[in-house]
Structure 1
């Protein structure tokens, strides 16, 4: 953090670190194109600035979950290829076709809707067919694949669609050696072979998410889709830390202490008095809570760096604030309390908060709410996008 007077709380986003992470991840898959996944507002980091930074670092594709995210990128002038994959009936298919967004199709209903949109728009839709190779979420089941392939080829012959991609998603790539990884790759290759044997000529075939990009080179195919790793967070502690892969966390969340006061022994702290002071001490008030995305499940365990020392959330994390026991130290009101960051100044990381809350680091960064301002470091574009 750089300001001498901190706001209540803020999230500092290091775009130089994000660019470096993209370059590092590209080196892990040097023969594959790179899709920067920026869904969920860039995993909480800010979709548009992060998309631009990733493209500057060599990404050629940008991936989103929802069509609204994809259309927001286009409205902001973000170039490159944009793909979105989470569609529901009646979605903005025509708008996506007109914005040159690659749309994912997992079943016949979606193919019908996108071909109707292409007719209405008077232009060819770019379509990527998703295979369910074992994840059990979206995607076409192997037994339904022939019907979808045949229908897509008919639509392509009519000039309504161009099949630009064949793709799938792993279930357990974050668990090294999990048998489903090989199983899904085998199914994916079989479904690719069928589609190509029928005449599909896709630009890209892809299945590799962050952990597969880092640890399953045989899954790289034509394109990789890093998400959480691009933001410098390990997809799984089991496969390694960010530092193990040459990645740096991009987000730092810090607040300014709103109160520092003396408290006697046996003084209750926060709702329910789940914490009482064991001895006379000082209490610091961190003005951020679950209304800002700080997980309530980390009550009593969430770590914070204040004056060079780790402190722990004392008692319940409330909607707007929580307390740390300062152990008699007396930092000034307004002193910086770092909730998490890169870890190289001794501060906690998102992974530390994930362990404290019994969740994953993905959730920690993504849940940081909209009332926490994002402050971008090393942003190369003028204007505000957040």
Structure 2
């Protein structure tokens, strides 16, 4: 009998127990699908506050724990921890290594370990697999390893189940088991032939976005300089039924993936002496975009006779609309740059009540009028834009959220 058949039978019968390492947004989404599919699931996280919040959701078949020993009964482990950047902007795999050590300590014969965290090509094979094999179990004998990049879109109504899932394996038995598992969780599974291919698939997806977001930001700067409305240009170009995918100007690419994973790619490319000038330039352009936004903001203020000590209100500080995630948010870089220029900055964000000791202001017309400029920085759906426009305070509409308003005090990026 093939060594993977026992676990394959458990997956087919939905009796395999699944452990999810990291119960953030991705881990919680995975847990929703595993429990919905009928798998008993243990969600592990070292953040007890997060676990307490998740307990309020009362997902059936989900046990939450901060004790790694509780994972010993699991047959499958899915690692969903963040892979961020350091304060110096360098790749940081410390959380991934800790999570892998946690799994390694509780492995038993014939477990499947899946990595969903975003990483550079080769990471699963050269970092995760050796750490797991320190347990005494090994691929090709009594351990199965897969990489399946997360593709969840925070803020979207589209669930993980509806998004095609790329899966790979360290060997054919690992791939077979990963396919069997994800066929129970999602509508479409896309197998690829190696771990590295699956890793580079996610890297390509994010780098594509980074390059195109920064292309449109450059085009927006050019269009503004010669007096052309870039938003109308994008609308017109989007009517082409092939060969064009619209991207939109803003404060710069943010979040835990788009500006992060290309940095992992670039570091790996440099180690292998492979130049990636377009990726490097996109990252450089992205880092400059918040400074450009601030430059434009002060140009608007000067039209009203204001200086660097102006009061500026940011509406939205998350990296994208309708989420509570501020990781790598370009708006925060705009905030920091505004303060460098002696501006007094406050913010309103219904999704972030407090940030770094500052409290989100309650938005009223009187409050808005106390400011010299409003930056519509993250276009949340639940903001009262009519109230902002009625205040007659100058508005810098960075992401065209006010396109349906006609007002001489509204300025576009």
Could you state the TM-score of these two structures normalised by the residue count of structure 1?
Answer: 0.31
Could you state the TM-score of these two structures normalised by the residue count of structure 2?
Answer: 0.30
With CA pairs under 8 Å and 6+ residues apart, which has the higher RCO, 1 or 2? Answer: 1
Of Structure 1 and Structure 2, which has the larger fraction of its residues in strand?
A: 1
